[in-house]
A and B are shown apart, each in its own frame.
Chain A
Amino acid sequence: MWGTNLRILGVVLGTVAVYTLLANAIPQVESEVPEELSFTGDVSPEQLIEAGEELFNGAGGCTACHGLGTRAPNLLTAQGSAGPIGARCAQRVEGEDCKTYLHRSLVEPGAYVVEGFQPIMPDASRTMSGAQIWSLVAFLESQGGEVTVTAADLQAADAGGEAGAAAGAAAGPSATTDPAELIRELQCVACHKLGAEGQEVGPPFDGIGSRLSAEEIRAAILDPAASIAPGYEQFAGVMPPNFGSRLTAAQLEAIVAFLAARK
């Protein structure tokens, strides 16, 4: 009986071992997380190219299609009679330089679908930052062409990113779910009166629970432009629309519950 048990154990462990060894014997490819880039004003083209190349061959996932020549055009090698992408990008769209064409191809991929290919390219701005996208553009320009991406392009991209970061910073340090503390940290009272505190640019928090349900309060925080309280139309657009991303779900619900209780 023990002999049978040992044979069964041997078959089981042996089979598992074969599969494990086989999976370890093939090329190992990890799906990396795109590294957030931060460049200074004197960034060199070489730095951009290096960062772009790393993204192109790694976390960007570009090689899954570009380079095979079947799913998407080759970018690093000649596609048909034309040279690599840096050499041909300026001729793709009349009146559009290489940099603009490549950037637009990344953030509006549906704009230019090369003949013979399907529109399967994803919008890079959904998963990459402005700096990452520009470094990709620089790398692609370097493939047979001249790199024209400059620090000014990055700064323009950063401006959007920094605005977001600044907005995040307002809520970011807050680890609390205490609604009163959150309201102070988010400077809500700068516009909404709460007791003796604050200004009345927007509707006061006092008594808000009797005017709006919890669902309506939540909706007003997440999408303030959707419904403007009567009498405050001239201030429409003042309230930031990004609390949905700045607050955690728990924080949002804490504020909603707090306000809904102020009847």
Chain B
Amino acid sequence: MSGRRLGMAASCLASLALVLVAVHVAGAQEPAVAGPRAYGSFPWIGSRTAVWIAAEVHLMFAAFVLGVPMFAVVAEGIGIFGGDERYDRLSKEFTRLLLIAYSATAMWGAVLVFFLTTLYPRFWAHMTEIFEVSMWIYVGLFFIESFTLYLYYYGWDRWKKGRAKIGHWTLGILLNVWGTAVLFIADSWLTYMMSPPANVGPDTSPAMVQFWSAFANATWMPINIHRLIANVVFGGSVVAAYAGYRFLSARTDQERAHYDWMGYVGNFIAIGALIVLPFAGYYLGREIYEYNQQMGITMMGGFMSWLWIIQAFLIGVLFLAGNYYLWVGMGRIPGAERFLPYTKWMLLVLIIGVIVWSTPHTMIADRAELEAMGGSHHPFLGVLGVMSAKNTAVNLMILTTFLSFLLYRRANRRPVVSWARTGTILQAGLFVIAAVVVLFYGVYGYFVSAIVRIGFSVYQVLAVLATIVGVVALDVAMLRGSESRGEIRWGQMPPRSQYALFVLVVTFTWLMGLMGFARSGIRQHWHVWEVMRDTSEWAATPALGYAAQVISVCVIIFLGLIAFIFWLGGLVEKPQLVPERGEH
């Protein structure tokens, strides 16, 4: 049996498993299946951890298979409309990585559903009674999505010219439409658990819950948006790590050049989308507070308060590793040497930013700790760790990372437009204005009340976003028809740069696990917040140390499986390499 058939067979088996699960789910409402038993038990690690691992690994695969098609279809579009065949081949290679990953996603989804039905039958019966129709639609969409993917990938070389190619590209767009719909449906289930409609209480029978109000609940859309962007970030980082591995194991210069370029594109996608992710996170956090202040406070200042210090550290690593990769990459770009002296200053801004962002402030403390601090806050860190300082730090880190991208992009270009000098001064002016606005509101925030201070973060974010949009618009216009200072020497990248890509993928994956714990953990001992209480022996939400161990296990399982899948994919088909060009 060929590898391609093997992949198809695995996918069909996974789909079959999903159908069986769906039938089981539908049947779970019948008394004989669900029964009155509230909880099952799982040996050794317990029910909670078993479901946790299954859900998290499923989510990691799902994020990958939903994120990659988004930029695969964009890359194909660039190939079609820009006439650069490299992007078409790159897109195909992205898509090739998806094929077997789809099967793994379905398999872990089946594991998750089986665990839920056997370990949490009462809770699952509650969910199926409310969401049964959406579960059937979900299964249907999964089929359609899978077969669209098969058509998209296997039809690549058949439909590669003229209108057929546009038709093929449309398949890619459809693949994203189905994938997004699948994501939105699954999000409705988990967000219902966080934010059920206000009129649903412990005494409400699930049969009386209005479907649409449960589906489109308060945190549904913020999660949808946050996950859409996060999936792109995650997909980009996995692709970049794949390229990094292929770069390090390349046997020819052509192969090395191709994977160097692919790694750059993957990293660009990941870091580019990461820049806007905090804004989506801010929207989600705000909606959680709007829905239930107590839930928001539990998340930010309750037992989870230390979690955000770890998150700040991880995001600091992402910014540092992403920028490091870019700075090292500038060594292969003729003309980039004129920007290299600035990198040490950018590094300084990033390090200070990470230190400020990671400073503890409003931490949950017991009486002994309060006495030791001499008050509710640490005498020294209490001043430094406030949100004004943290918002300022993160906005300056975003600006600095954007500047790195800009310098990278400009490195080997020489603008020829008459207003090039004015344009560059304007760009610098925009950077300075944004930095001043961010710093001004950061300092001013110390002199106003908390409720006023919270509003300042909006001005800071808007200043940074406006600068990004304005500078990019100027840059695109300014570099039109620009001269080259020399071709980029793709492939001539020190191996150490590739290890940064591995740090990035591990950190993104770990961060995804951490945020999953935060989102799910804020429900505390409720299956459905203030509607269905978790009365099992596993009801207590564990501390961060235990959570970190589970997250690490999930990360290792995911990365181990994805490495195996990529290796398997490499056995089946070698990508066709297109001679590199010096543009980017």
List the A residue with the shortest CB-CB distance to B376: A68
Question: B580 interface residue, CB < 8 Å from A?
Answer: no
A57–B369 alpha-carbon span in the complex (Å): 12
List the B residue with the shortest CB-CB distance to A24: B545
- Within 44-66 of A, Cβ neighbours of B (below 8 Å) are at 57, 61, 63-65
Min Cβ gap B404→A in Å is 22
Question: A33 interface residue, CB < 8 Å from B?
Answer: yes
A209–B541 alpha-carbon span in the complex (Å): 46
Name the B residues within 8 Å of A69 (CB-CB): 376
Question: B397 interface residue, CB < 8 Å from A?
Answer: no
Contact A63 B539 (CB under 8 A): no
Min Cβ gap A53→B in Å is 9
Question: A177 interface residue, CB < 8 Å from B?
Answer: yes
Our pick among B122, B248, B249, B303 for the contact of A29 (Cβ within 8 Å) is: B303
- Within 283-309 of B, Cβ neighbours of A (below 8 Å) are at 292-294, 297-298, 301-303, 305-306, 309
Interface membership of chain B positions 201-220, coded 1 if the CB is closer than 8 angstroms to chain A and 0 otherwise: 01111111000000000000
Name the A residues within 8 Å of B426 (CB-CB): none
Name the B residues within 8 Å of A126 (CB-CB): 530
Min Cβ gap A46→B in Å is 17
Question: A15 interface residue, CB < 8 Å from B?
Answer: yes
Question: A175 interface residue, CB < 8 Å from B?
Answer: yes
Given A8-B248, A127-B530, residue A253 in contact with residue B31 (CB < 8 A): yes
Contact A26 B539 (CB under 8 A): no
A175–B125 alpha-carbon span in the complex (Å): 15
A116–B122 alpha-carbon span in the complex (Å): 44
- Within 352-389 of B, Cβ neighbours of A (below 8 Å) are at 362-367, 370, 376-377
Given A67-B376, A122-B294, A250-B29, residue A24 in contact with residue B541 (CB < 8 A): no
List the B residue with the shortest CB-CB distance to A66: B376
Contact A30 B542 (CB under 8 A): yes
Name the B residues within 8 Å of A1 (CB-CB): 249
List the A residue with the shortest CB-CB distance to B370: A67
Name the A residues within 8 Å of B349 (CB-CB): none
Min Cβ gap B202→A in Å is 6
Interface membership of chain B positions 95-139, coded 1 if the CB is closer than 8 angstroms to chain A and 0 otherwise: 000000000000000000000000000100110010000000000
Question: A163 interface residue, CB < 8 Å from B?
Answer: no
Contact A16 B294 (CB under 8 A): no
Name the A residues within 8 Å of B507 (CB-CB): 15, 19
Question: A192 interface residue, CB < 8 Å from B?
Answer: no
Question: A38 interface residue, CB < 8 Å from B?
Answer: no
Contact B506 A177 (CB under 8 A): no
Question: A161 interface residue, CB < 8 Å from B?
Answer: no
Contact B294 A251 (CB under 8 A): no
Q: Which of B31, B292, B310, B530 has the most CB of A within 10 A?
A: B31
Name the B residues within 8 Å of A70 (CB-CB): 362, 376, 450
Comparing B18-26, B80-88, B549-557, the segment that makes contact with chain A is: B549-557
Name the B residues within 8 Å of A87 (CB-CB): none
Contact A11 B544 (CB under 8 A): no
Given A19-B314, A64-B302, residue A12 in contact with residue B506 (CB < 8 A): yes
Contact A222 B310 (CB under 8 A): no
Question: B543 interface residue, CB < 8 Å from A?
Answer: yes
Name the A residues within 8 Å of B259 (CB-CB): none
A121–B292 alpha-carbon span in the complex (Å): 10
Given A120-B293, A176-B36, A250-B29, residue A26 in contact with residue B544 (CB < 8 A): yes
Interface bracket on B: 35 or more
List the A residue with the shortest CB-CB distance to B127: A249
- Within 517-553 of B, Cβ neighbours of A (below 8 Å) are at 521, 524-525, 530, 534, 539-545, 547-549, 551-552
Contact A122 B293 (CB under 8 A): yes
Comparing A89-97, A193-201, A229-237, A240-248, the segment that makes contact with chain B is: A240-248
Name the A residues within 8 Å of B502 (CB-CB): 8, 11-12, 15
Our pick among A12, A223, A251 for the contact of B31 (Cβ within 8 Å) is: A251
Min Cβ gap B407→A in Å is 27
Question: B326 interface residue, CB < 8 Å from A?
Answer: no
Min Cβ gap B447→A in Å is 15
Question: B35 interface residue, CB < 8 Å from A?
Answer: yes
List the A residue with the shortest CB-CB distance to B371: A77
Contact B552 A20 (CB under 8 A): yes
Name the A residues within 8 Å of B248 (CB-CB): 4, 8
Contact B510 A30 (CB under 8 A): no
A251–B32 alpha-carbon span in the complex (Å): 10
Min Cβ gap B511→A in Å is 9
Question: B499 interface residue, CB < 8 Å from A?
Answer: yes
A19–B549 alpha-carbon span in the complex (Å): 9
A71–B297 alpha-carbon span in the complex (Å): 9
- Within 1-41 of A, Cβ neighbours of B (below 8 Å) are at 1, 4, 7-8, 11-13, 15-17, 19-20, 22-24, 26-34
A19–B508 alpha-carbon span in the complex (Å): 12
Name the A residues within 8 Å of B302 (CB-CB): 31, 61, 64
Question: A99 interface residue, CB < 8 Å from B?
Answer: no
Question: B559 interface residue, CB < 8 Å from A?
Answer: yes
Our pick among A11, A223, A242, A248 for the contact of B125 (Cβ within 8 Å) is: A248
Contact B555 A16 (CB under 8 A): yes
Name the B residues within 8 Å of A252 (CB-CB): 205, 207
Name the B residues within 8 Å of A175 (CB-CB): 35-37
Name the B residues within 8 Å of A127 (CB-CB): 530
A68–B382 alpha-carbon span in the complex (Å): 11
Contact A63 B552 (CB under 8 A): no
Name the B residues within 8 Å of A222 (CB-CB): 205, 207-208
Question: A150 interface residue, CB < 8 Å from B?
Answer: no
Name the B residues within 8 Å of A218 (CB-CB): 205, 207-208
Name the B residues within 8 Å of A67 (CB-CB): 365, 370, 376
Our pick among B31, B363, B450, B552 for the contact of A177 (Cβ within 8 Å) is: B31
A250–B122 alpha-carbon span in the complex (Å): 9
Contact B36 A250 (CB under 8 A): yes
Question: B142 interface residue, CB < 8 Å from A?
Answer: no
A68–B305 alpha-carbon span in the complex (Å): 13
A65–B301 alpha-carbon span in the complex (Å): 8
A19–B506 alpha-carbon span in the complex (Å): 10
A12–B555 alpha-carbon span in the complex (Å): 10
Question: A254 interface residue, CB < 8 Å from B?
Answer: yes
Given A28-B543, A29-B303, A222-B205, residue A22 in contact with residue B313 (CB < 8 A): yes
Question: A219 interface residue, CB < 8 Å from B?
Answer: yes
List the B residue with the shortest CB-CB distance to A32: B540
Question: B262 interface residue, CB < 8 Å from A?
Answer: no
Question: B476 interface residue, CB < 8 Å from A?
Answer: no
Contact B29 A249 (CB under 8 A): yes
- Within 162-211 of A, Cβ neighbours of B (below 8 Å) are at 174-177
Query: Can you give 23 contacting A-B residue pairs, CB < 8 Å?
Result: A15-B503, A17-B552, A19-B310, A19-B548, A19-B551, A20-B552, A22-B313, A22-B548, A24-B548, A26-B309, A29-B303, A29-B364, A61-B303, A65-B297, A67-B370, A69-B376, A70-B376, A70-B450, A76-B370, A218-B207, A249-B122, A249-B126, A250-B36
Add 12 more A-B contacts to A20-B548, A20-B549, A23-B547 (CB < 8 A).
Answer: A16-B552, A19-B548, A29-B364, A33-B525, A57-B366, A61-B298, A67-B376, A175-B35, A177-B36, A218-B207, A222-B205, A245-B202
Which residues of chain B have a CB within 8 Å of any CB of chain A?
A: 29-32, 34-37, 122, 125-126, 129, 202-208, 245, 248-249, 292-294, 297-298, 301-303, 305-306, 309-310, 313-314, 362-367, 370, 376-377, 450-451, 499, 502-503, 506-507, 510, 521, 524-525, 530, 534, 539-545, 547-549, 551-552, 555-556, 559
